[in-house]
Amino acid sequence: MQIKYYVLLLCASLILVSCSATKPKSNKPSHRLNQITIKPNEETIKQNDALFKYYQQWLGTPYKLGGLTKEGVDCSGFVYNVYLDLYGITLPRRSSDMISAVLIIDSKDSLQRGDIVFFQNSKKRINHVGIYLQDKRFIHSSSSNGVIISSIEETYWKQHYRCGGRLKTKGINKIKQKD
């Protein structure tokens, strides 16, 4: 079973994308050129087991602006669903509103599993969110490839990274129990 997660994570990490509603301009270098290959270890897989299982259920879901289902989901819709389904917490629906529900984490090194990562456009507006896994990796829904895992150290994400956020609610890193 762990081998499946390893292979899935490795394949997904090879795909680099942007989730903003617009494609990068052709006169800018593509963020796909500086791809980072991520090789998860068994400890990483085990610690993120619930998130990986959830990710596996959504893998292949296409991006759809305003979407909330496996027929199509946008970045904030995916984060909204993760928090509702795994943690039992209802977040604001829009990425720009989610930032008001978190305690800001400025250092990438202080991020923990389940934290929300925020990205901004050139006008400094929050326009993308994802869920932090570990080792600079996050799960998100991108406009070009749907639900995937990326690294915040990839050139594109590094340039657009704004901050991390941890919910003001205690116990957020605990996965809710099935009824």
Residues with catalytic roles: 75, 128, 140
Q: How far is Cα 134 from Cα 126, in angstroms, rounded to an integer?
A: 22
Residue 29 carries which DSSP code?
Answer: P
Q: How far is Cα 73 from Cα 56, in angstroms, rounded to an integer?
A: 15
From the list 130, 148, 154, 156, the residue with the least C-alpha distance to 12 is: 148
Residue 166 vs residues 2, 99, 147, 159, 178: alpha-carbon distances, Å: 28, 9, 21, 21, 23
In this structure, what token pair is assigned to residue 138?
């996050």
Start-to-end CA distance of the chain, whole Å, equals 24
